[in-house]
Copies of this chain bind each other. A is one copy, B any other.
């Protein structure tokens, strides 16, 4: 052992199966069998091998294993961006489930990168399957992935495409429920402060709002698009809406927007909810701690990540055949920003 140690000092890379084999005085096949418990090995031999492996601090090269096994044992996930309080929760659920399924998680943030498509392609080469979150879905790369039958699941995609697995959160029912609650408070004029291009989620919420108001005989809501989610854009839009002729309710597409609106309202001297009600969507942490606490719709972010990991695993292992189309339930969270609740 001391003799070996002398050689160890300059080694930066782990021992190979060959060295273990030589040291244990056996062939590499036997080492492989002994270490991974496949095929039988005489106890004495096994002992020697384990010993040798331990002494050499042998860890099988992932590359070698993957190459031989023909799989990566890794999942990818593509986010449009990593900003905001969202994706963290999603990733959390995804990573947890993936770990449970013995798979590593490689993450890429596609936004802002000119080379985003290349990054996604690169990712594809490192994993057995991947999930694509949100707007990245239109990309031609995703089409490629699907075309070449790379296991792929779409998480909350902006447009619903046919073929790949899709996991989304419910919008219509909860938006309707939210609208009804607001109507019940006696609110009559609605403004919807929403996302830039819309996208499926926001479209669905908008549609449900329009629908519910129409059914109740209330005036149609006023749509106010957002030119972006940057701090400046959001504040400017909120200010524009609130500065003159504010509605009874400002329904926002996201909590971040609603929180900005809350601030603007305060700056303008508008009391929430007395002068104007405000609602968000997502139930991020700040929504609970804001003043007033924000009425919103909770999305099961963590669960979305988890479901995505499981769906992907089914795809990879071939456990399931038909495409998945899962809609996770959301929950309307009533707080003080929509009205005083005695």
Query: Residues on A close to B: CB < 8 A?
Result: 12, 14, 57, 59-64, 66-67, 72, 74, 81-85, 87-88, 91-92, 95-96, 99, 104-109, 112-113, 119, 121-126, 144, 148-149, 256, 259, 262-263, 284-286, 288-292
Given known contacts A57-B144, A83-B92, A104-B126, what 12 new A-B pairs fall within 8 Å (CB)? A59-B124, A62-B126, A63-B66, A82-B92, A85-B85, A95-B108, A99-B108, A104-B108, A107-B107, A263-B289, A284-B286, A291-B292
Question: CB distance B105 to A106 under 8 Å?
Answer: yes
Question: CB distance B105 to A108 under 8 Å?
Answer: yes
Distance between A259 CB and nearest chain B CB, rounded to angstroms: 5
Point out the residues of chain B lying under 8 angstroms from A123, CB to CB: 104
Q: List 27 A-B contacts (CB under 8 A).
A: A12-B149, A59-B121, A60-B125, A62-B122, A64-B67, A67-B67, A81-B92, A82-B88, A83-B92, A84-B88, A85-B88, A88-B91, A92-B109, A95-B108, A99-B108, A99-B119, A105-B106, A105-B108, A259-B285, A259-B289, A284-B286, A286-B286, A286-B290, A289-B290, A290-B291, A291-B291, A291-B292
Point out the residues of chain B lying under 8 angstroms from A262, CB to CB: 289
Question: CB distance A85 to B285 under 8 Å?
Answer: yes
Point out the residues of chain B lying under 8 angstroms from A63, CB to CB: 63, 66-67, 72
For A305, the closest partner residue in chain B by CB is B82
In the bound complex, CA of A240 to CA of B64 (Å): 56
In the bound complex, CA of A200 to CA of B66 (Å): 39
In the bound complex, CA of A256 to CA of B12 (Å): 42
Question: CB distance A96 to B109 under 8 Å?
Answer: yes
In the bound complex, CA of A99 to CA of B122 (Å): 11
Distance between A312 CB and nearest chain B CB, rounded to angstroms: 15
Distance between A108 CB and nearest chain B CB, rounded to angstroms: 7
In the bound complex, CA of A149 to CA of B88 (Å): 31
In the bound complex, CA of A69 to CA of B64 (Å): 13
In the bound complex, CA of A149 to CA of B125 (Å): 27
Question: CB distance B148 to A12 under 8 Å?
Answer: yes
Give the residue of B74, B91, B106 whose beta carbon is less than 8 angstroms from that of A82.
B91
Question: CB distance B148 to A14 under 8 Å?
Answer: yes
In the bound complex, CA of A107 to CA of B108 (Å): 10
Distance between A254 CB and nearest chain B CB, rounded to angstroms: 12
In the bound complex, CA of A124 to CA of B63 (Å): 12
Point out the residues of chain B lying under 8 angstroms from A92, CB to CB: 81-83, 109
In the bound complex, CA of A149 to CA of B290 (Å): 47
For A59, the closest partner residue in chain B by CB is B125
> Top 10 closest A-B pairs, CB basis?
A291-B291, A286-B286, A88-B88, A82-B92, A62-B125, A289-B290, A259-B289, A286-B289, A63-B67, A12-B149
In the bound complex, CA of A91 to CA of B60 (Å): 28
Point out the residues of chain B lying under 8 angstroms from A14, CB to CB: 148
Point out the residues of chain B lying under 8 angstroms from A105, CB to CB: 106-108
Distance between A17 CB and nearest chain B CB, rounded to angstroms: 14
For A69, the closest partner residue in chain B by CB is B63
Point out the residues of chain B lying under 8 angstroms from A91, CB to CB: 82, 88, 91, 107
